[in-house]
Amino acid sequence: MGVSSSSDAELIHRYRRGDVAAFEVLVGRYTRLAGAIAYNVLGDYAAAADAVQEAFLKVHESAADLREPERFKSWLYGVVRTCALDAVRRRRRRPATSLTALDGAENEVVDAGLSEPAAGLERQEVERAVLDAVRELPESYREVVVLKYLDERSYKEIAEILGITIETIESRLFRARRLLKTKLAQYAGAPGADE
Amino acid sequence: MSEKDGVMPQACRDIRDVLSRHLDGECRPEEAARVRAHVARCAGCRAELDRLGRVDRLVRTAVAGHPFGPALAARVCARVAAARAGGEGRTAAPASGPVRPGTAGASPNVIRLPALRRLIPYAAAAAVLVAGLLALRQLDRVGGQGPSIGVARLGAVVAPSGAAVRVRRAGVLTSVVPGQAVELRAGDEVVVAPGAPGAEVRLDDGSHVTLDGGTVVALAGATAGRISVGLDEGRLVARVAPRSAGRAFAVRTADASVEVVGTVFGVHTVPGEGTRVAVLEGRVLCARGAESIVLSAGEAATVRPASALAARAADARAELAWALGSRKPAPVPAAGVPPPAPRPSPAAGPRPQPPAGSGGGDLPIGAPGDDR
């Protein structure tokens, strides 16, 4: 059995013994989950990617002392969330660089010199509207939506990560979709609100 | 079923309560059958399912291009490698006692207050040192050519005339001037604009990686050690220098990891569709989770979540022609020609039948010779 099929706990043990490849497998396995968690808190991709890097640095620093490696996933959830909240706090201390401003700056750099056809602009507009609608969801709903769509987790996996029941996941997704349907009525088709 | 006087029938209410779950494929089989039967005869609920489906696709499309893929994973690995080497000014050894899952809300490495007080006399000197290091790092980010702190140089990228190639380092994008080599370090991301000519990555270990237009990769590793290329989207051809033990060369996509045993191979990934691997020379180990298969010269595999991992004979030279000097498209096999028999993964057991309508399980991402 190769390293890529090892359990999280086994990968942690291997990394403690100096197996760098084991850490790379862990990173590959959980980058999307970590990104989804950070994005839920921060609301923009660039800041979330930074928080993911910070979080895995903490994982690297603390791997030797993690008492229950078999619960790595839920521990990682806490680490990523903490890093993302730290980033939010740093932002608050530097109000001049708002999330929106950073988002715009990032896009400006990425788009520089790349001509974008009108259809692409329209698509961007729709995507922005969708992401804004997701951002405006109550946090408990947004958390489930982000894990569902960004990390493509099943109800069972989301329930395990968040420590809540599958029924709660289902209920939050149901309500989140009703809200999204209303907010995105012009793109998803009327009627927007649930009858 | 119909709505009369604005009052929804109880049967419709019951169905609408589970439409969201149905959309996610989380219904029990008998429940899913009940939903299908109901929406087949109820226009209102059918319209509601359509609307929810559109919302689902809108959200899915909006997040499809998110940057939390293999390229970010490669950058994370590069940054942690730098930290291991001392470049981040952190130590790998934790400063506190064992960390319990669930207590990670606080920083895992806790320094108690009295200890901090003892450190105050050193704080000013440390601040000066940190400021100096940060200034160096900032110069490093802006210039992109100066010495790096604890980050391995891996090679350089060269863009041909007319190419729009950028290197992202620490969030800053730098354009690559055609004909001029830009140094690449672990953690750097190379972004080739869609529709433009590709770029050539020349690694210091002698390996070459050709990137097509519309490709995003990030590099991790060390010049004398492991090299890992995270491929978020697009396609590449790697001509890998001979490897010794412990010096693996790997390309990772969202679907697969391809590890080199010494070879020329191509990897093409389309987010949400899958990854195509074709080998021209040598052998590679292609893995998806616990399943893996060795691909030899003249073989290819498509890697998708729902289909079995299997090697098939392929015209690898035609598939990789875009990067190997000839961009002439390979001839498309005549309709009706049966595909070569697949060689299933030994770890995968008997090859399962592809689901109905899947067209046999090969990847429609422009691989000439694909039997789809």
Compare all CA atoms of chain B with the CA of A58 and give the residue at the minimum distance: B108
Query: What is the domain range of residue B283?
Result: 153-348
**Does residue B21 sit at the A interface (CB-CB below 8 Å)?**
yes
Q: Which residues of B touch A187 (CB under 8 A)?
A: 54, 58
Estimate the crossing angle of helix A72-93 against helix A45-62, to 10 degrees.
130
Residues 6 or more apart whose Cβ sits within 8 Å of residue A64: A16, B92, B93, B94
Are B56 and B170 part of one and the same domain?
no
Which CATH number does the domain housing residue B274 bear?
2.60.120.1440
Q: Is residue B272 part of a domain?
A: yes
Are B56 and B157 part of one and the same domain?
no
Q: Are B365 and B272 in contact (CB under 8 A)?
A: no
Are B47 and B187 part of one and the same domain?
no
The answer to whether the CB atoms of B173 and A109 lie below 8 A apart is yes
Q: Is residue B56 part of a domain?
A: yes
pLDDT tens string, chain A, 195 residues long: the values are 566 678 899 999 999 888 888 898 899 889 989 998 998 888 888 899 999 999 999 999 888 888 888 889 888 999 999 999 999 988 877 544 333 333 333 333 333 333 344 556 677 788 889 988 998 999 899 989 988 988 888 899 899 888 899 999 999 999 999 999 999 988 876 554 444
Q: Is residue B110 part of a domain?
A: no
**Which A residues 132-171 touch B at CB under 8 Å?**
134, 145, 148-150, 154-155, 170
> What are φ and ψ of residue B103, in 5° steps?
-110, 15
**Does residue A119 sit at the B interface (CB-CB below 8 Å)?**
no
**Helix intervals (H) in A113-189:** 118-135, 139-150, 155-162, 166-183, 185-188
Cis omega (within 30 of 0) on the bond before A191? yes
Residue type present at position B275:
T
d(CA B148, CA B130): 15
All domains in chain A, ordered by first residue? 1-94 (1.10.1740.10), 116-185 (1.10.10.10)
The answer to whether the CB atoms of A31 and B79 lie below 8 A apart is no
Q: Is residue B368 part of a domain?
A: no
Q: Are B35 and B22 in contact (CB under 8 A)?
A: yes
Are B41 and B160 part of one and the same domain?
no
Last residue of a domain, one of B42, B60, B78: B60
d(CA A176, CA A194): 12
Q: Is residue B277 part of a domain?
A: yes
Are B56 and B161 part of one and the same domain?
no
Q: Give the pLDDT confidence of B256-311 residue by residue, as tens digits.
A: 778 776 678 889 988 777 899 998 888 888 888 777 888 888 889 888 877 788 88
pTM above 0.90, yes or no: no
**Which A residues 29-88 touch B at CB under 8 Å?**
31-32, 34-36, 39, 45-46, 48-50, 52-53, 56-58, 60-62, 64-68, 71-72, 74-79, 81-82
Q: Is residue B117 part of a domain?
A: no
Flag whether the ipTM exceeds 0.90: no
Q: Is residue B71 part of a domain?
A: no
Work out how many domains chain B is built from and give that number: 2
Buried residues in A111-126 as b, exposed as e (16+ CB within 10 A): eeeeeeeeeeeeeeeb
Are B334 and B190 part of one and the same domain?
yes
d(CA B151, CA B87): 7
